[in-house]
Amino acid sequence: MPEQTVFEVFRYLPDSETEPRFDSYEVEYHDNWVVLDALNHVKEHQDPTLSYRWSCRMGVCGSCGMMVNGEPKLTCETFVRDYDTETIKIEPLTHFPVVRDLVINMDDFIEKLPTVSPWLIREEEKDLAEGEYLQTPAEVAHYKRFSMCINCMLCYSACPVYGLDSTFTGPAALALANRYNLDSRDQGKEERAAVVTAHEGIWECTYVGECTQVCPKDVDPAGAIQMLKLSYALDWARSFVMPRSRR
Amino acid sequence: MTRELSRPLPRSWWLRHAPYFQFMIRELTSLVVLTYAGLMIWGLWASGDGGSFPSFHDFLSSPLNVWLHMAMLVLALYHTGTWIALTPKVLVLWRDDERIEPDVIAGANAVLFLAVTGLVLWLVLG
């Protein structure tokens, strides 16, 4: 491996410049460094004006998502040693407006999340004295995978559908809808239908599948959306065959 | 209020990343499937009309059409493969709290596809 790695970092300083640029920083190679370590080194020793988000440094908070050599990655678990190029290009997550340098505006994502009602919906809440809603391990297994999302937005950055039309509800929000629809304690599938089955919802997904490929938590949003398509389509068909039955 | 930088997706987005390119090929092969379905409908219509079937048969027999059919077969098989690969995403089956492996679902679909194809070939050629 080279002794130095060159990081070409996207810079956008809206207060003083109108156009973005790339700045190069040479960083000493360390076998155990992740990309975030290198960015922190740059900020501490070379350029304190560099802006980016990070927090937990252990793949839990989901705040350090960036494009690394063109692919959406959590920089805290992307090792420099996995890139055999001497130059590593760092850019802000695509498909989101850039506020400054590597910091994106995530308002659109944050506003979309609650639209799918990502909480347990009950037709009638049972009395507190009756105890909790119990589940078997098998019932948990049905939705657990879809509950592991850390809201890192890598899936939105990988999705060209969202890139072409930002009204698309998007992979993470729809995977979350599926997570609650599959929960045995939930009765809110019909309530979520208005948002989930809208044109901007599941039917806008053309199954590119890259959301699943880039997900650092193996959530499989692409699979979740296909499951939702089948589930709601069956409900629709059932309503024709048995119009008086409940879903 | 700071000026935010908007970065629209360029028209060449699908050429920049191999999986995006494969996605576009998958979508384009659906047009081949549609074309072949149209051809089959034409063939059915022609077979019910004694006067037009010979011209349909002549149309199919041209060397250019044979090559076109070969190309359509390859592209339709690719399209079929993408659908078979997709099935485990839609068909999520459970045995108690164990999910049946996606490869098993896709494999079962592939075997079913080959069996039906074999049956059709046997009926047509046998």
Q: What pLDDT tens digit does each residue of chain A (247 aa) get?
A: 568 999 999 999 999 999 999 999 999 999 999 999 999 999 999 999 999 999 999 999 999 999 999 999 999 999 999 998 889 999 999 999 999 999 999 999 999 999 999 999 999 988 999 999 999 999 999 999 999 999 999 999 999 999 999 999 999 999 999 999 999 999 999 999 999 999 999 999 999 999 999 999 999 999 999 999 999 999 999 988 887 765 5
Q: Please tell me the predicted confidence (pLDDT) of residue A1.
A: 58
Flag if A94 and B5 touch (Cβ within 8 Å): no
**Block means of pLDDT (10 residues each) for chain B, length 126 residues?**
88 94 94 92 85 86 92 93 89 86 95 96 91
Task: Say if the Cβ atoms of A226 and B96 lie within 8 Å.
Answer: no
How far is the C-alpha of A145 from the C-alpha of A154, rounded, in Å?
17
Give yes or no for a contact between A169 and A115, defined as CB atoms under 8 angstroms apart: yes
Chain A nearest CA to B61, separation (Å): 37
* B6 vs A15, A97, A207: nearest CB: A97
| Number of A–B residue contacts, CB under 8 Å | 70
pTM: 0.90
Q: How close, in Å, is residue B119 to chain A by CA atoms?
A: 29
B98 by DSSP, 3-state: which? strand
Give the nearest chain A residue to B91 (CA atoms). A227
Q: Which residues, listed in sequence order, are joined to residue A25 by a DSSP beta bridge?
A: A7
Given an 8 Å threshold on Cβ–Cβ distance, is B19 in contact with A213? yes
Which residue's structure tokens are 């560099």? A50
Residues of B in contact with A210 (CB under 8 A): 17, 19-20
Q: Per this entry, what is the length of chain B?
A: 126
From CA A80, how far away is CA A240, in angstroms rounded?
Answer: 56
Do A227 and B89 count as a contact with CB atoms less than 8 A apart? yes
Q: Domains for chain A: give ranges and CATH numbers.
A: 4-104 (3.10.20.30), 107-241 (1.10.1060.10)
In angstroms, the separation between the Cα of residue A239 and the nearest Cα of chain B is: 21
C-alpha distance from B9 to closest chain A C-alpha (Å):
6
Neighboring chain A residues of B15 at a CB cutoff of 8 Å? none
Are the C-beta atoms of residues A157 and A93 closer than 8 Å to each other?
Answer: yes
**CB–CB of B97 and A141 under 8 A?**
yes
Domains of chain B: 17-125 (1.20.1300.10)
Q: Are A70 and A10 in contact (CB under 8 A)?
A: no
